[in-house]
A and B are shown apart, each in its own frame.
Chain A
Amino acid sequence: MATREELSAFLAGVERRAFKQASFAVRDDDAAMDIVQEAMFKLAENYGASRPAAELPLLFTRILQNATHDHFRRLKVRSTWITLFSALTPANDEDADPLETLEALTGTEKAESALDKASRNQVVAIIEEEVARLPRRQREAFLLRYWEDLDVAETATSMGCSEGSVKTHCSRATHALAKALRARGITP
C-alpha cells in the first residue's frame, strides 16, 4: 500500500500538470484549482491508504477527469437557471442575445487574460492555447498519452473508450495541432 510519503511525492510530481490539464479544459484558473483540489482529496480519502503507489497515476487521472466532467455538469445546470432567469426578466434591449449568458462562460476576457499571463513565453503560450482549443476527447487522449505517459491501453481505460479510439484521437489531435501551429508561424 502507498505510504504517506509516496502519496505526497506522487501528488507533488503530478499537481502542476493536473492543474494545467484542468485549466485547458475549463479555461479558468480558480475553477481548475478547485478541480485539482477535489481530485487530490478524493484520491487521498478513497485510495490513499488502500492502493499501492503504482496504481495512483491511473486512479488520479480518472478522478481528475471525472472532477472536470462534474464541473461542466454543474456549469450546465447553472447555465440553465441563468438562461431561465434571463428569459423571465423583461428585455429592454431588443437586440439582446438570449445566448449571451452562455457565451460569457467561454468569453474572450478570460482567454485574453490567460494569454497576458502567459506572455512571458510567447511560443509556449501559443502552444498551450492551441492545445486548449483541441476538441475535448482529442485533447484528453493527447495529454494522457504523451504528457502523462500512459500507454494506449491505460489511456483507453482512463477515457472509457477503445484503444482504436485513443489512437484515432491522438492522431487527429497531433495533425490539428501541427496545422494550427503552422498557421501561426510555429514549427515545433
Chain B
Amino acid sequence: MNETEFAYRIRQALNEATEQLEYRIVFRLERARTAALARVPRENEAPAWAPAALAAAGGRSISDQSPRGIWLQRLGLLVPLAALLIGFVAIYEWQHARRINELADLDFAVLLDEAPIDAYADKGFGALLRNEQ
C-alpha cells in the first residue's frame, strides 16, 4: 500500500470520527458558527442608495473592491447628484422663461390698447377696470 492510499484510509477513519462527535460538541460548534456569522462586517451588503443597475453592470457585485468596482460605486453616487442638479437648473430656466413671456404679453397688451399709457398710472382708472371685470 503506498503512502497516499494509506493516508486516505486514515482520512476515512478521521471522517468517521467527526461523524461520531458528541451532540454537546456539535451544538456548541453550531452556536459558534452562528455567532461568527453575526460578526461579519456590514460592508458586505449593497448600500440602499446604490442603483440596482450598477450591481448588474458587468455582472459584478457592488462591493467589488477592484478599481472598476470602486469607480462604479463613485459613479453610482455622482449620476443621481448630477441628475438632480440638471433638474434644478431646468426648472429655474423654465420658470424664468415663463415670467418673461407673461411680462411680454402684458407689455404687448398695454401697447396695443387704445387708452393712453398715463391712464394706467391713474388710481381711478384702475378702480374702473376692476369694477368692469
Contacts and interface: CB of A to CB of B under 8 A. Distances in A.
Interface of A: 1, 3-4, 7-8, 11-12, 15-17, 19-20, 29, 33, 36-37, 40-41, 43-45, 48-50, 117-118, 120-121, 123-125, 127-128, 131, 142-143, 145-147, 170-171, 174, 177-178, 188
20 contacts: A1-B64, A4-B37, A7-B37, A11-B37, A15-B30, A17-B14, A33-B29, A37-B32, A40-B32, A44-B39, A45-B39, A48-B40, A118-B17, A127-B13, A131-B14, A174-B6, A174-B7, A177-B6, A177-B10, A178-B6
Contacts of B25: 19, 29, 33
B22 A128 contact: no
B40 A4 contact: yes
Residues of B in contact with A, size category: 35 or more
Main SS class of interface, B: helix
Nearest to A32: B25
Interface of B: 1, 3-4, 6-11, 13-14, 16-22, 25-26, 28-30, 32-33, 35-37, 39-44, 61, 63-65
B29 A48 contact: no
A7 B34 CA distance: 11
Contacts of B4: 146
A45 B18 CA distance: 26
A123 B20 CA distance: 13
A131 B7 CA distance: 11
B17 A146 contact: no
A32 to B, nearest CB: 9
Contacts of A147: 11, 14
A115 to B, nearest CB: 13
B132 to A, nearest CB: 76
Q: Which 4 A-B pairs have the closest CB atoms?
A: A49-B44, A40-B36, A48-B40, A16-B18
B20 A17 contact: no
A188 B35 contact: no
B44 A33 contact: no
Contact of B41 (A16, A48, A177): A48
